[in-house]
Chains A and B, each alone.
Chain A
């Protein structure tokens, strides 16, 4: 099952490699990983999308907690949460395709952020399945390049993850 694990950790050199090293050393998989400093620059917030049985996820959270620099770990999927991912996608936009591409971006509430005579670059945010759906909706041949950030997640309501 897909899980979204949020990690609050010390913003120190090497902390990221400890997390990544843990996943590879113990054979856990990472679908996406995002990390950036929080409003408190001494802390980083990481969102890891992973998959595994309940036992595996339990071990993942335990092992994350065991890292000295990890302050807090929460499996967001245990409660209500929202999740967003950003994609930048460069598509072919010539002839009739050009209008069609614009319409498609509008339907998915994407924004065109760069234009050439032959291409559009579209910015799209949403949860992973929406972004997947957008890619599926396009003709494969029209996609020139994609870049995705991976998911960031946050608990719904008044639940907060902080020190």
Chain B
């Protein structure tokens, strides 16, 4: 508690930066803080508790507010904005239901370590705890799915909280940070000074890797006969893909990128062996299992990546793990050389040390590469083309061809997500935007909005399914309002495809509630929102439709409803709980 006299004294003390300025309201402070952070776009939805803030937004033009149709989409859009641009995404929602709607978006960003600042309105401080209208315990509800959160009860603490929120969100292992602002705080006044470079005695992420550990890693890597590099979202977040490419070349080691790490290494690099894991390539999974030195960078040995950890541990190998979050190290898999630090810093130092060790000749990896070629020759991603029924894989390949492999691709969650990851090879980081950790259906369309706001004019494709797209379909209206023109590739198999696939394989073909009945006419639906709808039913029409969408119709949102093979499955597949190399390569393995 602060004494009233201290408050008055502080309020009257003019800011040292702007001595002429008098006290301003909390709402103005919010806007000024965002301006000070260089924020250009805020995704949000107004409501009672944030009306003073919206009133200040009305009076300024330093940033643009994007009005979504549901708070979940505001957070998803801000999340994608960050994923594709390296900026901190910002969302603004009201109290109560505004917050609870936003929770899915926040949890999604948290699982994938995406830096966001979420500003939420709260009922006035005197009403907190009174079950006031549109009240909920925002910091309580969001505590398990944010990196940190603040409830600001005094306008004097507002600027500091927002400044800390941005700092915490973007530093260390990034993540969403929420600032809950009661309505009375937005009308209270105090002098404004934006605290630059906040520091917290309790929060000092380790940036530089431990030199002794790095040297150990170098020795291991130089002595490896079967080296393997396995990288995740950390390489993307740290903007370290150039360094990764150099390291891969230097070590002449095969490299795999997880679902979150795709684009970390150019997919066309001959050392790239595809994605690992549950739906990873045969060669990636085999190499992960049989290497003698595994360098894991910015990744967390997730259950979808290494399968059963006991099975994974059966093969002896030395593991080097580079990650900024110590709690990610030795969590599921015991590692030999942990290196805590920023991926970029550590890779840089690894390269320097490797170059310093030049004279010692590295053992030949020729036999290893020979082995990998053999694994590759299984061509695990081959599928049977059909000239009557549209194969979903073919649609993704056609999309790659039409966009020159250079589009921003967002996806929802399910079979289409895996096909997009498998059949759209990414050449650059931050091009592939999907919910890897939480696996949130419905992100695709709002993700595309965030991407297009960050990169106007870029090609943006949403690879989705008829199940996922309906979870945030209302955002077609937002797209109309802001003239956003993503191309929606709806792989419509009339099933919740991944659920159906598991039911086929593990639940005796009992397709419980996975048939999607009573679908809307997506063409008419798109048209009713003022967009273009196309229905594509024949393989021959796939490429022409995509071409039309990305050329003649490039200034429109085009909803392409591809009627695809109903029972196509995603291969390869490692069933949940099974070993990484216990792969099913196709229906013949069932």
Binding site for B on A (CB under 8 A): 9-10, 13-14, 17-18, 21, 25, 55, 58-59, 62-63, 65-66, 68-71, 163
Residues of A within 8 A of B147 (CB): 68
User: Can you list 6 A-B contacts with CB-CB less than 8 angstroms, sorted by A residue number?
Assistant: A10-B202, A58-B330, A62-B329, A66-B327, A68-B202, A68-B203
Give the dominant DSSP class at A's interface.
helix
Residues of A within 8 A of B144 (CB): 21, 25
Give the dominant DSSP class at B's interface.
mixed
Evaluate contact between A21 and B143: CB separation under 8 angstroms: yes
Residues of A within 8 A of B201 (CB): 71, 163
Asked if B140 lies at the interface with its beta carbon under 8 angstroms from chain A, I say yes
Residues of B within 8 A of A70 (CB): 202
* Interface bin, chain B: 20 to 34
Given contacts A14-B139, A21-B143, contact A69 B330 (CB under 8 A): no
Residues of A within 8 A of B215 (CB): none
Residues of A within 8 A of B331 (CB): 59
Evaluate contact between B143 and A68: CB separation under 8 angstroms: no
Q: Using CB atoms, name the residue of chain A closest to B164.
A: A68
Residues of A within 8 A of B330 (CB): 55, 58
With the chains together, A25 CA to B146 CA distance in Å?
13
Asked if B565 lies at the interface with its beta carbon under 8 angstroms from chain A, I say no
Which has the most chain A C-beta neighbours within 10 Å: B201, B326, B327, B329? Answer: B327
Asked if B24 lies at the interface with its beta carbon under 8 angstroms from chain A, I say no
Evaluate contact between B326 and A62: CB separation under 8 angstroms: yes
Given contacts A14-B139, A17-B140, contact A62 B327 (CB under 8 A): yes
Q: Using CB atoms, name the residue of chain B closest to A70.
A: B202
Residues of A within 8 A of B139 (CB): 14
Residues of A within 8 A of B168 (CB): 68
Given contacts A58-B330, A62-B327, contact A69 B143 (CB under 8 A): no
**Partner among B140, B202, B325, B326 whose Cβ is within 8 Å of the Cβ of A69:** B202
Asked if B151 lies at the interface with its beta carbon under 8 angstroms from chain A, I say yes
Evaluate contact between A17 and B151: CB separation under 8 angstroms: no
Residues of B within 8 A of A62 (CB): 326-327, 329
**Partner among B151, B203, B327, B334 whose Cβ is within 8 Å of the Cβ of A14:** B151
With the chains together, A42 CA to B385 CA distance in Å?
67
Evaluate contact between A63 and B143: CB separation under 8 angstroms: no
Which has the most chain B C-beta neighbours within 10 Å: A13, A17, A62, A163? Answer: A62
With the chains together, A9 CA to B148 CA distance in Å?
14
Residues of A within 8 A of B325 (CB): 66
Chain B 198-240 per-residue mask, 1 if CB under 8 angstroms from chain A, else 0: 0011110000000000000000000000000000000000000
With the chains together, A9 CA to B151 CA distance in Å?
18
Q: Using CB atoms, name the residue of chain B closest to A18.
A: B143
Residues of A within 8 A of B200 (CB): 68
With the chains together, A34 CA to B450 CA distance in Å?
45
Least CB distance from B173 to A in Å reads: 8
Q: Using CB atoms, name the residue of chain A closest to B328.
A: A62
Within 8 A of A (CB), among B169-207: 200-203
